[in-house]
Amino acid sequence: MNKSELVESVAKKAGITKDAAAKAVNAFTETVAETLKARDKIVIAGFGTFEAKERAERMAHNPSTGAEMKIAATTVPAFKAGKTLKDAVK
């Protein structure tokens, strides 16, 4: 499912226009991005948790030359599914 299909599905299920659903989906994704950028986390009971995780610096190998290279530490977005979502997918 892509974003436009998600917007259409939300509009149908919520009984709202596609424009209103698009605004809601955009507001949600922007809020998640802003919250993770601030290093906070979002917990939606039964659905899951969005958070920013620190990835440590590590050594890797260049696949074409085999040379060792250092990959810098970084912060990445992460999602952990909640029990209700996990059960729904089974």
pLDDT (0 to 100) of residue 35 = 97
Q: For strand 68-71 and strand 74-81, is the pairing parallel, antiparallel, or unpaired?
A: unpaired
pLDDT (0 to 100) of residue 44 = 96
pLDDT (0 to 100) of residue 2 = 97
Please, are residues 53 and 75 in contact by the beta-carbon 8 Å criterion? yes
pLDDT (0 to 100) of residue 84 = 96
Q: Return the residue matching tokens 């969005």.
A: 50
* pTM, rounded to two decimals: 0.82
Residue 14 contacts by C-beta under 8 Å, 6 or more apart in sequence?
A: 21, 24
Radius of gyration (C-alpha) of the chain in whole angstroms: 18
pLDDT (0 to 100) of residue 7 = 97
CATH superfamily of 3-84: IHF-like DNA-binding proteins (4.10.520.10)
pLDDT (0 to 100) of residue 67 = 93
Type of residue at 51:
E
pLDDT (0 to 100) of residue 79 = 97
Cα angle vertex 7, ends 40, 26, to 5°? 35
Counting as low any pLDDT under 70, the low residues of the chain are none
